[in-house]
Amino acid sequence: MKDLFQKCYDFHIAKDLIAADRYPYYKVLETEQAPEIVIDGKKMIMLGSNNYLGLANDPRMKQAAIKAVLEFGTGVAGSRLLNGNTILHQNLEKKLAAFKKRDAALVYATGYQMNVGVISSIIGKGDYVILDKLDHASIIDGCRLSHGEIKRYRHNDIKDLEKVLASIGPDHGKAVVIDGVFSMEGDIAPLPEIVKTAKAYGARVIVDDAHATGVLGATGAGTCEYFGLENGEVDLVVGTCSKSFASVGGFVVGDADVIHYIRHTSRSMIFSAALPPGPVASISKAIDIIQQEPQRRRQLWDNAAYLKKAFEDMGLDTGKTQTPIVPVIIGDDEKAFTLWHELFNNGLFTNSVVSPAVPPNRALLRVVATATHTKQHLDRALNIFEHAAKKILGSRMSSK
């Protein structure tokens, strides 16, 4: 008789890494997200956080959350649909819509719930959703929970996208769903070409701005602003509140009627408790700070350029990144884990990323400097990285 739990007992990959002292996940932080953190009593430089603008430990963010908790409590004890829809949520949605230059917004409890809820609400039986092969897992899961058909095209390949769209008949609803910034390698979707191609075949376009919000564009409004596509060419923009907004939650912005429909049909919205008051207030404060302090974004980009150039001078492969996400591409999983371990033991926290988060044989270390890292932080980190890379990668590094 088949035992449902046998796969659990046979699952050994993580245990093997733990036994070899190479396990890079679920590390226990003993301090707040900052340029330096403490793990196991040891101070480390944090270069593995999505706290792009350095707001996660900003005193103004903390005070906004504290004030909201004192006034509204620690939670709302229900869904937005029933009893959890506070004035804080309503005001945040108005502010988000204005920030993204759209008619309306809707806020979810998490970014994952947002993608699952928005996509499964919009895509129905007989519809098609077309994905870039490197789209985020939450997008893929939203598609799987819908009743539509999934088709995928080669990463950022417009000709392949057109081929996929041409294979779908005109009687089917269609949506192209893409990441604005791809989270592991830091490249940007060619959005103008995608929009033009999608519209030629009657497809709607949904852009996930998780890693673009607060980062791309003249005011940090994201991918559409970066490309000058702010007149409704992109049908829906979605995103998370856990990166530049330095909290938790998800959002979707778009035409008022579409957002109204999603509000009343999205299962992960209707059947989940609402985002607690503290995070709602801190997200709102983050938008204020992003708009008032553009120097944070400039510093983020300056720090990223500094890291990228230093890595390339070491002879390391940073791929095709166009953003503050700086991948160091290793290729082999074991070498990536080993390099991560060497860095970690010497006081540098990075992210080790292997398949399926990246394609097979393209393991990498994901490195991100935030706006609040100083050049002293970065120089210390680069010194650690150079020594570790020479030890682990050896001849693969150039003599620059």
pLDDT of residue 395: 53
pLDDT of residue 399: 42
pLDDT of residue 394: 82
User: Could you give the CA distance from residue 367 to residue 206 in angstroms, rounded to a whole number?
Assistant: 27
pLDDT of residue 127: 97
Phi, psi dihedral angles at 315 (to 5 degrees):
90, 15
pLDDT of residue 397: 58
3 state SS of 248: coil
Burial-class residue 167 by CB neighbours within 10 Å (0-12, 13-18, 19+).
Answer: exposed
pLDDT of residue 400: 41
Strands (DSSP E) contained in the chain are 36-39, 42-46, 104-108, 128-132, 149-153, 174-179, 204-208, 236-240, 250-254, 325-331, 348-349, 351-353, 363-368
Architecture of domain 59-292: 3-Layer(aba) Sandwich (3.40)
Dihedral sign computed on CA atoms, order 58, 60, 61, 62: positive
Which residues, in sequence order, are bridge partners of residue 349? Answer: 46
In the chain, the percentage of residues whose pLDDT exceeds 70 is 98
CA–chain centroid gap for 276, Å, is 21
- Which tokens sit at 135? 């789209």
Short-list 375, 364, 370, 382, CA closest to 321: 364
299-327 pLDDT, tens per residue?
999 999 999 999 999 999 999 999 999 99
What is the β-pairing status of strands 363-368 and 351-353? Answer: antiparallel
14-46+294-396 and 59-292, same CATH topology: no
User: Could you give the CA distance from residue 47 to residue 340 in angstroms, rounded to a whole number?
Assistant: 12
User: Could you give the CA distance from residue 48 to residue 352 in angstroms, rounded to a whole number?
Assistant: 9
pTM of the entire predicted model:
0.94
Contact in structure between 214 and 179 (CB atoms under 8 Å): no
Domains in the chain: boundaries? 14-46+294-396, 59-292
Those residues of the chain that have pLDDT short of 50 are 399-400
User: Could you give the CA distance from residue 207 to residue 108 in angstroms, rounded to a whole number?
Assistant: 16
DSSP tag of 210: T
217 Cβ contact list (under 8 Å, min separation 6): 223, 224, 225, 226
User: Could you give the CA distance from residue 143 to residue 177 in angstroms, rounded to a whole number?
Assistant: 10
Burial-class residue 142 by CB neighbours within 10 Å (0-12, 13-18, 19+).
Answer: buried
What is the CATH topology of the domain spanning 14-46+294-396? Aspartate Aminotransferase, domain 1 (3.90.1150)
Short-list 122, 241, 132, 230, CA closest to 178: 132
